[in-house]
Amino acid sequence: MTAIARSTKNINWPGVGRSILAAALSIALGLLIGALFLLFSGQNPVAAYTSLLKGAFGTPARLAETFVKMTPFLILAISVSISFKCGVWNIGAEGQLIVGAITSFWAAMTFHFLPPVLLLPLTAVAGMVGGTLWSGIAGVLKAYFNANEVITTSMLNFIAVYLLAYMVNGPLKDPEGFNFPQSRLIPESLELPRLLAGSRLNIAFLVALGLVIVTLLFWRSTVGFRMEIVGASRRVATHVGLNVKRTIILVSIISGAIAGLAGWGEIFGVHFRLIEAIAVGMGSLAVVVALIGELHPLGMVVSAFLFASLVVGGNAMERSAGVPFALVDVINGSIILIVLARSYLFRGWRS
């Protein structure tokens, strides 16, 4: 814990204030752009955003649901941020989550004879291995074949989606599932304990928060520092004798393991079975969450919460106000562009 104390002691508070202000401004502008589209199409933005807020925070149950969604967002954002800090533009979190979900489910079914105390950790490890396998492909291709990771990870996302569809329609399909594309349920003894009765909020949320602390420590370690150097400049990294290729592969492995863990959390904490739509849109959201959080673990806690509210609220908004959920994607895309261009857009505000 002393490392955390140290890492909070050196915080540049005015800098943090400016970051929060800039992030708030970017999000406000993104919401404004969304409101303009609603106005333009004859919808009432106030009503839409009110139903969004109610959907995300209206009742304790809704708030708990926001935390449920926040869990994979935060884990995936941490996964993405580690790649990004090393200059690896991995947008494959979605595919890694999916493969992690498949392998963790497979482990639960294959080693069902083990006692839950052993089996549950084993499934988590299996999920991490699955995510690593998937991200490792892109990492090796990047390191040894110079293959652009944005393209390979996006292709691997599509392949993972079809792999999951194949699994739940083929080898892992529930034989008593009335022909639905889904697997059988995991045994109840493997379901992650709930944190709040009557909600889906579970231990995976605490795992995500634990991961935040581990990541804070990680960036203070030698390995983390090496990765940051590789991210800052490949040339400098080579010059000081770092093995850039090995670092890129290591980063891919770590990112993939974390994303795979998110898949495990979704299966054992939320769905209890494999379904086709476990990860839709999560990959791109993870990128937004990581960027708004400025790739800082604590920043990402805040942004994961904000975007989870946006998604949970956005779903409620679609149901109650009839506003398409795609509005949330428009807001997210706008926010990324505003955040990227903000040093240009807000250049007069520096004082």
Partner 1 sequence: MNLNLLTTSFVIGVLAASIRLATPILLSALGEIFVERAGILNLGIEGIMLMGALSGFLGAYWTHNLWIGVLAGMLTGILFGLLMGFMSITAKANQVVAGIGITILGGGLSTLLFRLVFGLRTVPPTLKIFPTLPIPVLSRIPVIGPVLFEHNILVYLALILVPVASVVLYRTHFGLKVRAVGESPDAVDTRGISVGRTRYLALIIGGAMAGLGGAYLVLGSLGLFWTQMTAGRGFIAVAVVVFSKWDPGRALLGAWVFGLASALQISLQTLNVPIASQILLMLPYVITIIVLISVSRRAEFPSAYAVPYFRGEDK
Which residues of the shown chain bind partner 1 in the complex (CB under 8 A)?
37, 41, 43, 89, 91, 141, 144-148, 150-152, 154-156, 158-159, 162-163, 165-166, 169-170, 284, 287-288, 291, 324, 326-334, 336-337, 340-341, 343-345
- Give residues with Cβ within 8 angstroms of 177, minimum separation 6: 183, 184
DSSP 87-125: T-----HHHHHHHHHHHHHHHHHHTTTS-HHHHHHHHHH
Comparing CB distances to partner 1, the nearer of 159 and 298 is 159
- 173 bridge partner residues: 183
d(CA 231, CA 85): 6
Q: Nearest distance from residue 30's CB to partner 1, in Å?
A: 10
Residue 57 tokens read as 């925070």
Nearest to 88 by CA among 203, 252, 234, 226: 252
Nearest to 342 by CA among 20, 2, 116: 20
Phi/psi at 275 (5° precision): -130, 165
Q: Nearest distance from residue 269's CB to partner 1, in Å?
A: 26
Comparing CB distances to partner 1, the nearer of 91 and 261 is 91
Q: Nearest distance from residue 161's CB to partner 1, in Å?
A: 9
Comparing CB distances to partner 1, the nearer of 111 and 158 is 158
d(CA 25, CA 21): 6
Distance of CA 50 to the CA centre of its chain: 26
Comparing CB distances to partner 1, the nearer of 189 and 343 is 343
Q: Nearest distance from residue 45's CB to partner 1, in Å?
A: 13
Distance of CA 7 to the CA centre of its chain: 24
d(CA 124, CA 309): 27
Q: Nearest distance from residue 70's CB to partner 1, in Å?
A: 19
d(CA 118, CA 122): 6
Comparing CB distances to partner 1, the nearer of 191 and 318 is 318
d(CA 97, CA 255): 10
Comparing CB distances to partner 1, the nearer of 154 and 202 is 154
d(CA 183, CA 263): 15
Q: Nearest distance from residue 94's CB to partner 1, in Å?
A: 12
Q: Nearest distance from residue 121's CB to partner 1, in Å?
A: 31
Comparing CB distances to partner 1, the nearer of 256 and 265 is 256
- 275 bridge partner residues: 182
Q: Nearest distance from residue 40's CB to partner 1, in Å?
A: 9
Comparing CB distances to partner 1, the nearer of 92 and 269 is 92
Nearest to 220 by CA among 78, 8, 20: 8
Please report, for residues 41, 259, 284, 321, the alpha-carbon distance to residue 93 in angstroms, rounded to integers and kept in the order given.
34, 6, 8, 31
Comparing CB distances to partner 1, the nearer of 123 and 309 is 309
Q: Nearest distance from residue 155's CB to partner 1, in Å?
A: 4
